[in-house]
Structure 1
Amino acid sequence: MNTTARIAPIGCDGLPLCGEPARRARLRASGQLNGIDYVEVGDDGVTLCVHLFGDIPAGIGVANVRVSGGRRITGLRVVEVEIEHEPEMHDDACLRVVLDREGDHTPYCLCLVDAASGTDPAAWTPYPGFDPRYACAELRFRLDCARGQDCKEETACVEAPSPLPEINYLAKDYASFRQLFLDRLAQTMPDWRERHVPDLGIALVEVLAYTADYLSYYQDAVATEAYLGTARRRISVRRHARLVDYRLHEGCNARALVTLASDTDLSLDLGNLLLLVPPPGEADAKPGVIDAARLDAARAQGALVFEPMPLDGATTLDVVAAHSAIRLHTWGDELCCLPRGSTRATLVDAPPAGTSAAVPGVASVGAGDTAAASPPRALKLAAGDLLIFEEVRGPRTGNPADADPAHRHAVRLTTVEVSIDPLDGTPLLEVAWDACDALPFDLCLSVRTPAPDCAWLHDVSLARGNVLLVDHGEHVRLACDCGAICEPAGGDGAYPGLAAALAALPDACRRCRDLTEDCWMVPGAVEYDCCRCEGAVQDVTRPPADTGHALPLGPLTFAEPLPSHAPVCRLLSRDPRAALPQLAVHGGPLAAVLVDGAPDARWRWEPRYDLLASGPDDRHFVVEVDDDGIAHLRFGDGTLGRQPQAGDFFRAAPRIGNGPAGNVGRDSIVWLALKSGALSGATIAPRNPLAAGGGTAPESVAEAKLYAPGAFRARPLRAIVADDYAMFAARAPELQGAACALQWTGSWYEAHVVADPLGREVLDPALAARIAADLERYRRIVHDVAVTGACYVPLLIELRVCVLPDFLAAHVEAELRDRFRAGLRRDGTPGFFHPDRLKLGAPLYASALIAEAQAVPGVAHVELITLTRMEGGRSGDVPADGVLEIGAQEIARVDGDPDYPDHGSIAFAMGGGR
């Protein structure tokens, strides 16, 4: 991590959205730093009047004024800069800036920078003596709002929409369907509380439950008769399903993120840590460290055990006391929040206890000199560390009990840089994370309590460091069955070669009793081939009698390997079909495997999903779980996988803990224990701010019977017709749909694949090339493949809206434009013309437009005036059947952007209202 302090980056992006600009008043009062107060745009569109907090520097010139931003009109250049003491646009003195041309409707950013900053906006530094927060100001050359609307933007921190009601899709009988309907009615009709049998509502619920029960029974009966009806045992169903390329999964364990709050700095060995959920009898357990005796008692009482997962090969965790609670910097402003979608934040790098956070002399130096000071630092964050943002107080009351537990989010840092606040010398840490971990909600930082207190409330949300990724399961201690080794039955008996092996290893019994793993020997017999010739050497073989083995404990843990250098979104995403059994198996000659410590790596056997791709010398095995949850180890037969030899000694160290049992709620993992040794001189309080997730139950036999017969149809291996190419292309996670047409080129057919990218309208050329490469293995020999983006059809839409008398027409129009926008609405939901809601070949219905507009409060009546393609259409054209057909390789487009009128437009003719 770079420890050299630097000035905070400048710009108009990446700042918290605050409703109370308190820093502006502080800058005016202090008189230490200058800054931009506001910018006025002249009538000619190219003249700007820049007003400052203080006096205008005399040496400022064209090289010190930069303008960035814009979408259609970019690269604005400053051609003239001079000081005007009596400007026409305002009475105060201002810096007159003349641009080479006028900008578009999008916001631009004007910055006063050091002339040596370069051309990259990311490397701009503020003009000497200017505050980095106000070295830049946003300006607009044109306004998007209509004359009858208020152009003031609403404050962010929008409350998230209410979640959709939970539906139990596992309801399969009359009682569960009846409860499902009653639960749904309790949410949609909370005032209806009648539960008497004669009630009409109850009667309707019971009729629907009876019908659903009958349909469910009919569906189960058909499935039972049609798919693998004779198989009943789980292992048999697993093998039948594998024959048709279907993999029955055994579930996977849960993962969680645990923070360690400590009062001192220390380093912990990850391999020696255990995190526990207290047993059911200790609901009021306090977070902390437990000793070995309490650990054994907790295990016996049913405590859930989690183990750390090393990230990118890490073996230790450096716990820093200052990481227990980290404040977020608001630059002295009030009513702030970290907006949804943020991928960076500024943390307050609080100094150690007993030191001052202020930098001596910062009040008397310019902004360019503050970097020379070295404020004391407490945070030791680095790229790759995990961080959890958490709302710790209720935004309305300030009470910690009112904090929203849903406002907790974990990120993995990608960059960490040191900086300071030049206004008060606060040491800061600039952190950023992957866009995949973008903040999914508005995180409040500071609020004001309601009247009569009206008090400013800070540190509403904090960041937590010292974060561990843990997963459910524990490597348990087992007792080895040493009967065959400690009490041999004379000669080789059932284990060929055992007598010779014991003679070469005199302390074999002692070593076997010291093992804390499960162990077994492969039984076999000595077979003698018949003598065909007198005096010939007799042929002796020792085939194994049984190479399988059943583990004594369960459930065996199944987990996927961690991706390297991955963000949190990928670390917590789970695929139970990619999970492998978690156990270390070593097997081979007795002298090589029965050793103190871990055997040599060449005697290790690796788990696999199956042995179909294993060679005769590959030490692979498969774990099959039966109906009682017992894990059976199956080895190869010498052709598909190596076959264990009779008399080989095996040892296995399994990990126990799997399935949804590990999906514990937040703040449930509160105990920490060491496998060996003890902690002294430190107080550690573990907790999981976020609920554990990903724990999945093993796939049931019924599900396998239902899905296995159609598995080969769900994963075809060749593309024959056009729909096959579209299906294979649509598998890419970056797409939301695809279409294809076979076009004759004069010599052969070309599969022309049209891709609809997810969340955007332009197909990335690199993505198109990758999809084309992926289609090569499915391509028919006589076909060529070409991948292009969809053809977007701009539409012309006009609606006549009648507004109720009690509503303002301007407000209703603003709500209509918000509903029909092509991006996200103010509440964060996709607009009606969002790219993810418009599919390939999907027609546009007039009824859908009218229904969407009619749903806006204050709308009395809606009439569709125009619905047509922009090319060749005219105002007043509406399809006779109310359906505007779109081609199979086309997507409707209505951006409503004044900078791009050729991308589709929607207009509202407002009437009525007030």
Structure 2
Amino acid sequence: MSTMDNTPAAIGISCQLLPACSDDLRREKVRLEGKLNGIDFVEVGDDGVTLCVHLFGGVPSDIAVANVRISGGDRITGLRVLSVSEENEPDMHDDVCLRVVLDREGDHSAYCLCLVDASSGDDPANWRAYPGFDPRYACAPLRFRLGCAKDLDCAAATACVKPAPSLPDINYLAKDYASFRQLFFDRMAITVPGWQERHVPDIGVALVEVMAYVADHLSYYQDAVATEAYLATARRRISVRRHARLVDYRMHEGCNARAFVTLALAAGEQTLALDQLLLLVPPPGQLPVAPGPIDAKALDAARAQGALVFEPMTLDGADTITVVAAQSAIRIYTWGNQRCCLPRGSTQAVLLDAPLPAPPTETPPPGTPPGSDGGGTPLPQVRSEEVNAPRRALKLKPGDFLIFEEVLGVSTGNPADADPSHRHAVRLTGVQERVDPLDGSLLLQVNWDACDALPFDLCLSVRLSSPDCRWIDDVSLARGNVLLVDHGDHPPGQCQCDALCVPPEAIDDADYPGLSSAMASVPDACMRCQSLKEECWLVPGNAQYECCVCDGAVQDVIRPAGDSGHALNGSPLTWAEPLPTASGVPVCLLLSRDPRQAQPQLRVCGGRLDEVLISGIPDAGYQWAARHDLLESGPNDRHFVVEVDDDGVAHLRFGDGTLGRQPQAGDFFRALPRIGNGSVGNVGCDSIVWLAVKAGAAPEGIVPRNPMAASGGTDPESLAEVKRYAPGAFRANALRAITADDYAMFAAREPALQGASCQLAWTGGWYEADVVVDPRGAESLAPALAAKVKRDLWPYRRIGHDLAVLAARYVPLLIELRVCVLPDFLVAHVKADLLDRFTAGLRSDGVPGFFHPDCLLLGSPVYASALIAEAQAVAGVAHVELITLAREEGGVSGDVPADGVLHLASMEIAQIDSSPDHPDRGSITFIMGGGR
């Protein structure tokens, strides 16, 4: 009779027990309870054969050599234990350990040390734990030599690692729909040989064709990515823009147009808010057009039909304009003289400060002004009681705009014959009240910047040719009530409210995390959203929870946006160059445009639903600013970039959390874009004739008009231009002056100079950049101009270089010409013409003379052939012979360079003033012969 042994089998021990766990919680539990003992870790001594086995508890007193087993090893195996003993030396170890001495040192591979029952045998598979030891900790891994360097982390890799999947067999020659379809059928023939259906209605064939279509689309996308990866091959506008930015080239999206609009009023005055005004160009093909105000219904219809909308620009903080009837057409005072004009280059004028008189009742006799100013305002003689009235009608002030306009034909007196190019806008810098002491007329003297000087002669009064011979006054007038406007409109937008206008139980927290709690704080979100006249959207995404670090810790919840970008509905988006921040900027600078400095015109706000979905404009902390790029944006900067695609659609690109702030899923955004851009805004004169307001009724009696054509509108830069200029653009914008030519190049950028030269002079300890400049229209260098040039050059100078700005060295020349005059010409007349041609000032016809300072440049040589050719061009000259061409200092009569060229140094300028008061400034002498 046999008996069954009910004793449980002993648990096997090893250094690689399953399952493998990352968090070893049992180790601490065994240590604290103290019921079982185990190996904590094994320490290898410096000699390589002495081991110190640290245990959870004390060292068993009866442990012997037979209880310590070592397995493993690659090159060195079968390690034997020579002795074991308890080691209790606090100077060597923090706790008690079991000292084990081996017969030799192991290799670099892993070993396993186990404390076993002595009766376990020699087979590691049958080893049992030492009595009282936890089987999980009866063994410990052991390495005699580290398999990594001392400066590396030798921690073991994670045990639960998935093996890398085997790569599928891919035919990379399949790139289109047909080849993918055939590839799938070939694969199906191998995996499912029994399926041989090829009819189109079959479900299997349909699935194969769907997959072939998707594969074809992905293949095209793969090819497109490779194409867009390089500037030379990229075809999409956004790709080209990003490539160009990498080489510091800023691709521009065009710029809107600007124009000056006058507001005419029949009587009285009205004050208008600039932020409510709209100026319109009627839609094409709409006739007849009645200039003046239009109502809200007509405004909506005009927008729908393609009317161009202009909005006033705010200058120097002004938010209103007062339209004065007397400033609709202002007479330019001539002090009672006739045949007057404002000459070219004028920077001041005197205006008659009185309202225009009423129209006459009968035809005026000869000698009186005509009956119209060309703009619809009658202009008879001014009555004395109106002129001498003790009241002023004009309310002009510094900073106001004024437009000078020729309203009557100079030859006929007919308004239709007025020259439309004789219209010029200026910005007043000074306004002084004056009174004519002769008749007491109230006057207003106005001044403007030299940059806005008249570019033409403005005729004020003329006399018609015979047989009429009438005097015509008020040929030109000044227009006040001028607005600076630019192209672009803020059309009402449509808000996307679908996610907000759902029942509470249908709120989508999966795509818009936190939406339900946000809607609870804003119960009327749907009504608010539908009342907004802007574009608005919710940022989609999902909530992600960070991993649990320890028990009871608060989990971090992040809400990354699934797609934080947005495409605006309207196009083209307006791009406008910011106005100068200085006050009183002249017209010439206001109309000088740089499309690369233009910024997108839209207001973007985004953040929490309850803070952004409000009736007014959200707080500044929720407003996002447009930037050309995000390379300098920090992780908390609310910046975005506008990128325009090939169809003109503007895409908003936000940051990623490192370069710019990243929107969070569930955030609410609203945008108010401005629409209208490019050269289409460069409308002709007298095109902007409608006035409207954004809200309410339009003011009655005000008629807008743009006397001059709009300008500055620029179309977006083409891809061909970017690909042509971007690769070399960085070379065109130097940032440092290294050589002498660099200093000269930077100095020549000053508009008041017509040339510059430089040489690096050794001072004994360092170099000094001596920059010699040639002022435009002058022979002397003003101290203020020299200081300005030095100040502008200072940021570019090389470290270790001194900088000096010097005047050019003028070299007086001695020139003698022998001129033979034709027999039929008077010698005196020919000599007078020669002196006029070789003058250092302006010739009688207004052209600079041969020796004018602007015609003599730094380092430019004087050619004998040029002198002879200039003299030979005078009527009556038969022959010219050059006798002398030399420097006045040391030169004598008869000196002529052998090659016919008098060379000058790079810092010298020829000087021939031929002034009897200054003979030391060079001279030219004509020895006349022949003639009569």
Query: CA offsets per residue over residues 5-33 of structure 1, 9 Å max, x none?
Result: xxxxxxxxxxxxxxxxxxxxxxxxxxxxx
- Under a length normalisation based on structure 2, what TM-score does the superposition of the two structures give? 0.69
Deviation at residue 491 of structure 1 after TM alignment: 4.3
Q: Give the C-alpha shift of residue 909 in structure 1.
A: 4.3
Match of 2:347 in 1: 343
| Correspondence 1:58-137 to 2 at 5 A | none
What amino acid maps onto 2:442 in structure 1? Answer: P
- CA contact 2:536–2:670 (8 Å) conserved in 1: yes
Which residue of 2 is the match for residue 544 of structure 1? 561
Q: Quick one: which amino acid aligns to residue 330 of structure 1?
A: T
1:420 corresponds to: 435
Residue 763 (structure 1) shift = 2.5
Counterpart CA distance in 2 for 1:304 and 1:285 is 14
Deviation at residue 810 of structure 1 after TM alignment: 4.8
1:465 CA displacement = 0.9
Aligned to 2:154: none
How far the C-alpha of 1:505 sits from its partner, in A, is 0.2
Q: Which residue of 1 aligns with 2:281?
A: 277
CA contact (8 A) 1:357 1:376 kept: no
Amino acid paired to 1:847? S
1:310 to 295, 307, 314: 314
User: Does 1:885 pair with 2:888?
Assistant: no
SS state at 1:256 partner: strand
Cα 1:332/1:640, change in 2 over 3 Å: same
Structure 1 alignment gaps of length 5 or more? 1-223, 363-372
| CA 1:900–1:692: 2 relative to 1, 3 Å | farther
Shift, 1:881, TM fit: 2.0
Q: How does 1:694-733 map to 2 (within 5 A)?
A: 694-733=712-751
Letter in 1 for 2:241: R
The equivalent residue for 1:218 is none
Out of 240, 243, 248, the position equivalent to 2:243 is 240
Shift of 1:696: 1.0
* 1:659-682 residue CA offsets vs partner (Å, 9 max, x unmatched): 1111111122122222222245x4
Q: Which segments of structure 1 move beyond 6 Å, counting only runs of 4 or more?
A: 354-362
d(CA) in 2 for partners of 1:671, 1:802: 68
Deviation by residue 1:564-602 (Cα, 9 ceiling, x = unmatched): 310111111111111111111111111111100211122
Q: Secondary structure, in 3 states, of the residue corresponding to 2:614?
A: coil
1:442 aligns with 2:457: yes
1:685 Cα shift? 2.3
Distance 1:889 1:426, change over 3 A: same
Separation (CA, whole Å) in 1 of partners of 2:301 and 2:829? 65
| Residues 1:327 and 1:589: Cα distance change in structure 2 (over 3 Å) | same
- Partners of 1:579 and 1:893 lie apart in 2 by 45
Report the CA distance shift for 1:375/1:786 in structure 2 as closer, same or farther (over 3 A): same
Count of residues in correspondence between the two structures: 679
Aligned residue identity for 1:350: A
Contact 2:507 2:515 in 1 (8 A): no
- For 2:300, the equivalent position in structure 1 comes to 296
Distance 1:303 1:849 in 2: 60
1:358 and 1:424 in contact (8 A); partners too: no
Amino acid in the other structure paired with 1:653: L
Q: Please give the alpha-carbon distance, in whole angstroms, between the structure 1 residues aligned to 2:615 and 2:628.
A: 30
Q: Distance in 2 between matches of 1:465 and 1:700?
A: 39
How far apart, in 1, do the equivalents of 2:386 and 2:754 lie?
57
Select 2:327's aligned residue among 318, 323, 326: 323
Deviation at 1:538, TM superposition (A): 3.0
Give 1:336-485 correspondences, 5 Å limit: 336-351=340-355, 375-485=390-500
Shift in CA distance, 427/607, structure 1 to aligned 2, threshold 3 Å: same
Q: Which residue of 2 aligns with 1:765?
A: 783
Q: 3-state DSSP class of the match of 2:674?
A: strand
Deviation at 1:357, TM superposition (A): 6.7
What is the match of residue 669 of structure 1? 688
Larger Rg: 2
2:444 counterpart letter in structure 1: L
Q: Does 1:487 align with 2:502?
A: yes
- Alpha-carbon distance in structure 2 between the residues aligned to 1:498 and 1:236: 35
Q: How far 1:811 moved relative to its partner?
A: 4.9
Match in the other structure for 2:576 = 559
Per the TM alignment, residue 806 of structure 1 is displaced from its structure 2 partner at its CA by: 5.9
CA–CA distance in structure 2, aligned partners of residues 395 and 805 of structure 1: 43
Q: Distance in 2 between matches of 1:811 and 1:298?
A: 67
C-alpha distance in 2, partners of 1:609/1:908? 64
From 232, 247, 250, the counterpart of 2:253 = 250
Once the two structures are superposed, the pairs formed by residues 181-220 of structure 1 within 5 Å of their partners are none
- For residues 309-356 of structure 1, what are the alpha-carbon distances to aligned partners after superposition, in whole Å with 9 as ceiling and x for unaligned? 122111111111111111111111111111111111111112475899
Give the Cα separation in 2 of the matches to 1:811 and 1:690: 45
Q: Deviations over 1:706-749 (max 9, x none)?
A: 22111222223333222222222223333332221111111222
- Secondary structure of the 1:335 match is coil
- Deviation at 1:532? 4.6
Asked if the contact 2:260–2:710 (Cα under 8 Å) also holds between the matched residues in 1, the reply is: yes
Q: 1:169 maps to what in 2?
A: none
Q: TM-score, normalised by structure 1?
A: 0.70
Give, in angstroms, the shift of residue 480 of structure 1.
0.8
Other-structure match for 1:334: 338
Work out the CA distance in 1 between the residues paired with 2:820 and 2:306.
65
Does the Cα contact within 8 Å between 2:357 and 2:382 map onto a contact in 1? no
| 1:790-838 deviations in Å (ceiling 9; x for gaps) | 2222223344445556665555544444443334445544433333333
Secondary structure of 2:301 counterpart: helix
CA distance, structure 1, for counterparts of residue 439 and residue 458 of structure 2: 24
CA contact (8 A) 1:352 1:376 kept: no
- What is the CA distance between 1:657 and its match in structure 2? 0.8
- C-alpha change, 1:888 and 1:634, in structure 2 (3 Å) is same
Task: Indicate if the aligned counterparts of 1:357 and 1:426 stay in contact, CA closer than 8 A.
Answer: no
The one-letter amino acid paired with 2:749 is R
Distance 1:479 1:819 in 2: 70
AA in 2 matched with 1:511: R
> Are the structure 2 counterparts of residues 361 and 774 from structure 1 closer, same or farther at C-alpha, using a change threshold of 3 Å?
closer
1:262 and 2:279 matched = no
Q: Secondary structure at the match of 2:796?
A: coil
CA drift at 1:762: 2.5
- 1:619 pairs, out of 638, 641, 650, with 638
- What is residue 581 of structure 1 aligned with on the other side? 600
Whether 2:804 is the aligned partner of 1:786: answer: yes
Deviates more, 1:732-741 or 1:592-601: 732-741
Please tell me whether the aligned partners of residues 480 and 519 of structure 1 are also in contact (alpha carbons under 8 angstroms). Answer: yes
Compute the displacement of 1:860 (Å). 4.4
* Distance in 2, Cα, partners of 1:446 & 1:637: 67
Q: For 2:918, give the aligned amino acid.
A: Y
Give the secondary-structure state (helix, strand or coil) at the position aligned to 2:259: strand
User: What is the CA distance between 1:647 and its match in structure 2?
Assistant: 1.6
Cα 1:668/1:894, change in 2 over 3 Å:
farther
Choose between structure 1 and 2 for higher RCO, CA contacts under 8 A separated by at least 6 residues: 1
**Inter-partner Cα distance in structure 2 for 1:318 and 1:665:** 26
Would you say the 8 A contact 2:790–2:805 is kept in 1? yes
Amino acid at match of 1:587: G
3-state SS of 2:251 partner:
coil
* TM-aligned CA deviation for residue 859 of structure 1: 4.5
Give the letter for the 1:479 counterpart.
Answer: Q
- Asked if 1:628 corresponds to 2:647, the answer is yes
Provide the residue aligned with 1:515 in structure 2.
532
Distance in 2 (CA, whole Å) between partners of 1:723 and 1:617 is 44
In the alignment, structure 1 residue 642 sits paired with structure 2 residue 633: no
Contact 1:393 1:401 in 2 (8 A): yes
- Cα displacement (A) at 1:281: 0.1
Aligned partner of 2:148 in structure 1 is: none
User: What per-residue deviation string (whole Å, max 9, x for no partner) do you get for residues 509-553 of structure 1?
Assistant: 111111111112222211123335444433322112222211111
Q: Structure 2 vs 1, CA of residues 352 and 912 (structure 1 numbering), >3 Å: closer, same or farther?
A: same
SS in 2 for 1:772: helix
In the alignment, residue 487 of structure 1 is paired with which amino acid? Answer: V
Counterpart-to-counterpart distance in 1, 2:310 and 2:517 = 43
Aligned to 1:52: none
